[in-house]
Structure 1
Amino acid sequence: MLGNFVTGASILAPAGMLPELSREFGVSIHETGLLITFGAIVLCIGSPVSAWLTSRFDRRILLSATVAIMAAAQFASMLAPSYATLMAVRLVMLAVAALFTPQAAGTAAMMVPPERRGSTMSYVFLGWSLALAVGLPLIAYVAHHIGWRVAYGGIGVIALLNLALLIWRIPAGLEGAPVHLRTWGELARNPLIMLLLLITVLQTSGQFAVFTYLGPLFGKLGGSSELAVIAFGIYGVMGFVGNVIASRVVDTWGAYRTSLTMMSLLLLGITMWTLGAGYVPAMLASMFVWGFSFASTNSMQQVRLAGAAPMFASATVSLNTSGLYIGQAIGSGIGGVFFAHELYYAIGYVGIVFLALALGSVILTRRAL
C-alpha cells in the first residue's frame, strides 16, 4: 500500500505543481502538462511489457528494485536544471514505475485465499487514495509555499522508507504464473476483459481532462489557484473514504454492483463540476462526490479483472494500469488543447461524455461478472 502511495505521488506530482514548474522553466501550462501526457504514454506501454518480462522474478526483489529506482529519480528531479532534464528523468523513472502497481496487485492476490482477494486488493490500492488524500495536497502546498524541489525530495525520502519495509516484510521466493506471449492473445480474445479495459480508458480520460489542469482551472474560473490545494485535499480524503467503504462492501454487494454505484457517482461528480464551473462553492462541493468515487471505481475494475482471470492477475491488472495511463494521456491531451484555447468551461463537458460512455459500458457487463 505504501508502495502504491509512492507510485501515485511520483506519477501525479506535476499536477500539484504546474504553475511553479511553468514559472521555473519558462514554459506554458500546456507544455508543463505534457509531463503527465508523455509520462502516461510511457506507462501504458511499460506496464504490460514489464509484466511479461518480469513474471518469473522474485516479487520481493522486483518490488524493492522498482522503489529504489523511483527514490533515486525523485532526488534527480529535485536537482533538475531544466525542463528537458526533468522530462527525461521522469520518463526513465516511469518506465520502471510501471512495474509496481500491477505487480503489487498480483502479489497481494497470491498471498490471500480467493474469498479475501477483493477486499485485500482494495486495501492495497488504498495507497493511491492516500497519494491523493495526503500526497497531492501536500505536494501542491509545499511546491507553492516552500518550493517544488523540496516536494520532490520529500517523495524520495518516503520512497526510501518504503524500500526498507518491502525488504523486511515481503516473503522471499514469491513468484506468480509465468506470463507468455500467448497469454496476451488469450486475454485479448476474452470479451469481458476487453470491455473492462475499455471502461478503464473511458473513465480515466473523462477525469484527467479536468484533473490534470485543476490548479490552473481554479485560477481561471475560481479566482485563485491556491483553492486547488483545498480541492485536492477534499478529493483525496473522500477517495480514501470511498475506497475503504468499497473494500468493506464488495464481498457482500459483489464487484458489479459496487462498480456500478461508484461509476454513477463519478458521473454525478463530474457533472456537478461542469455545471458549477465559475462558482467556487459548487466547484468545491463537486470534489466530495467526485473524490468519493474515483479510487473505488478503479479498485473495482482491478477486482473484476482479477476475478475474470485469477491466475493471470498481474497480467490483467497491468493491462488495466495501461488503460489508466492511456486514459490519462487522452484526457490530459484533450484538456490541454482546450485549456490552450481558453475553453475552460468546455473541459467539463468532455469529462461528462467520457464518463457517460463508461457507465453505459459497465451496464453491458452486468451478466458477466
Structure 2
Amino acid sequence: MLGNFVTGTSVLAPAGMLLELSNGLGVSVRDAGLLITFGAVVLCIGSPLTAWLTSRIDRRLLLAMTLLVLGLGNLASAFAPNYAVLLVLRLAMLSLGALYTPQAAGAAALIVPLEKRGGTMAYVFLGWSLAVAVGVPLITFAAGHFGWRAAYAMIGTIGLFSFVLLWARLPGGLSAAPVDLKTWVAVGRSRRILTLLGVSSLQTSGQFVVFTYFGPLLTGLTGAGAAEIGLVFAIYGVCGFVGSVIASRIVDGWGSYNTSALFTSLMLAGIAGWTFGAGHFMVMAAAVAVWGLGFAASNSMQQVRLVMADPALAGATVSLNTSVLYLGQAVGSAIGGVLFAAGLLHANGYVSTAVMSCALLAVLLATRERRAAGA
C-alpha cells in the first residue's frame, strides 16, 4: 500500500504544482501539464510490456527495485536544470514505475486466501487514495512554500523509505504465472475482460479532463489561491480514502459489479456537481467530495473484477488495466490541456461529465450481461 502511495504521488505530482513548475521552468501551464500526458503515455506502453518481460522475476525483488527507481528518479528530478531534463527523467523513471501497481495487486493475490482477495486488493489500492489525500496536498504545500525542487526531494525520500520497508517485510519466493503470447491471445478473446478495460479507460479519461488542471481551473473559475487549491486536493483524496475503505468492507458481500456501479455513480454525480456549480468555490468543493468518494474505490473494483473474471490471466489483465488507466490519463489530460489553453474553462467540466456518463453506462451494461450469463 505504501508503495502505491509512492507510485501514485510520483505520477500525479505535477498536477499539484503546475503553476510552480510553469513559473520555475519558464514554460506554459499547458506545457507543465504535458509532464502528466507524456508520462501517462509511457506508463500505458510500459505496463503490459514490463509485465511480459518480468513475469518470471521474484515479486519481492521486482517491487523493491521499482520503488528504488522511483525514489532515485524523484531525487534526481529535484536537481533538473530545465524542463527538457525534467521530462526525460520523468519518462525514464515512469517507464519502470509502470510495474508497481499491477504487480503489487498480483503479489497481494498470492499471499491471501481466495475469499479475502477482494478486500485485500482494495486495501492495497488505498495507497493511491492516500496519494491524492495526503501526497498531492503535501506536494502543493511544499511547492508553494519551498519550491518544486523541495517537493520532488520529499517524494524521493519517501520512495527510498518505502523501498527499505518493502524489502525487509515482503516474503521472497512469490512467483506469478508467466505471461506469454498465449496469455495475450486469451485476453483478446475475452469479451468480458475487454469490456472491463474499456470501462477503466472511460472512467480515467473523464476524470483527467478536469483533474490534471484542478489548480488552474479553480483559480480561473473562482479566484482560488494555493491554500484553497490544496484544500480541494485534500478533500478529494480524503473522500477517496474513505470510499476505498467502504469498498473494501462491502465488496465481498455486495460483489464487485454492484460495488463498482455504486462508486461510478458517485463519480458522475460529483463531476456533474463541479460542472454545473462552476464559479462557486463551496459548491465545487462539495462536488469534489462526492467525486472523491467514487474515484479510488472504482479503480479498486475494476482490478478485482478483472482478477475474478479469469484468475489465470490476472498477471496480464491487471497490467493491461493499469495500461488503459494511464491511456485514459493521457487522453483526458491532453483534451483538458487543449480546452484550458483555448480559455474554455467551463467546457472541461461538460466534456468530463459526458465521458463519465458513458463510463457509467458501460458499467451498467457489463453488470447486466454478467447477470444474464449467470456468472
For the aligned pair, the TM-score class normalised by the smaller chain equals over 0.9
- Given that 1:48 and 1:319 are in contact with CA atoms closer than 8 Å, whether structure 2 keeps it comes out as yes
Counterpart of 1:108 in structure 2 is 108
Task: Work out the percentage of aligned pairs sharing the same amino acid.
Answer: 58
Structure 1 runs of 4+ off > 3 angstroms? Answer: none
Task: Report matched runs for 1:1-369 at 5 Å.
Answer: 1-226=1-226, 227-366=228-367, 367-368=369-370
* Aligned residues of 2:51 and 2:179 also touching (Cα < 8 A): yes
Aligned 8 A contact 1:108 1:124 in 2: yes
TM-score, scaled to structure 1 = 0.99
- Cα deviations by residue, 1:142-188 (Å, 9 ceiling, x for unpaired): 10111111111111111111111111111111101000012111101
- The question of whether the paired residues in 2 share the 8 Å contact of 1:217 and 1:225 is answered with no
C-alpha distance in 2, partners of 1:261/1:130? 21
**Cα distance in 1 for residues equivalent to 2:33 and 2:68:** 26
CA distance in 2, matches of 1:49, 1:173: 22
Give 3-state SS (helix, strand or coil) of 1:81's partner: coil
**Matched position secondary structure for 2:65:** helix
2 CA distance for matches of 1:173 and 1:284? 46
- In 2, the alpha carbon distance for the partners of 1:314 and 1:149 equals 36
The alignment's TM-score, normalised by the length of structure 2, stands at 0.97
Distance in structure 2 (CA, Å) of the matches to 1:263 and 1:224: 28
User: Which amino acid in the other structure matches residue 73 of structure 1?
Assistant: G
Deviation for aligned residue 1:312: 2.5
In 2, are the aligned partners of 1:55 and 1:179 still within 8 Å (CA)? yes
Q: What is the distance in 2 between the residues matched to 1:287 and 1:347?
A: 14
Q: Deviations over 1:70-128 (max 9, x none)?
A: 11101110000000000000000000000000000000011111111100000000000
Task: State how far apart, in whole Å, the 1-side matches of 2:316 and 2:310 are.
Answer: 9
- Opposite residue 206 of structure 1, the aligned amino acid is G
Give the superposition deviation at 1:311.
2.2
Is the 8 Å Cα contact of residues 216 and 225 (structure 1) preserved in structure 2? no
Instruction: For 2:108, give the aligned amino acid.
Output: A
* C-alpha contact 2:187 2:313 (8 A) present in aligned 1: no
The residue identity in structure 2 corresponding to 1:176 is A
Deviates more, 1:274-283 or 1:359-368: 359-368
Q: CA deviation at 1:309?
A: 1.5
Q: C-alpha distance in 2, partners of 1:266/1:252?
A: 22
In structure 1, distance between residues paired with 2:279 and 2:182: 51
**Secondary structure, in 3 states, of the residue corresponding to 1:27?**
coil
Instruction: After superposition, give the CA deviation of every residue in 1:171-209 in whole Å (9 maximum; x if it has no partner).
Output: 111101000012111101100000000000001000000
1:132 is paired with a residue whose SS is: helix
Distance in 1 (CA, whole Å) between partners of 2:362 and 2:189 is 18
Residue identity matched to 1:172: G
Report how many aligned residue pairs link the two structures: 369
Q: 1:10 offset after TM fit, Å?
A: 0.4
Alignment-mate amino acid for residue 65 of structure 1: M
Distance (whole Å) between structure 2 residues aligned to residue 40 and residue 120 of structure 1: 26
Specify the SS of the correspondent of 1:119: helix
Give the SS at the match of 1:365: helix
Give ranges in structure 1 of 5+ residues lacking alignment. Answer: none
Measure the CA separation in 1 of the matches of 2:93 and 2:110: 27
Deviations along 1:257-302, one digit per CA (max 9) or x if unpaired, are: 1000001111000000000011111111111100111000100000
CA contact (8 A) 1:209 1:334 kept: yes
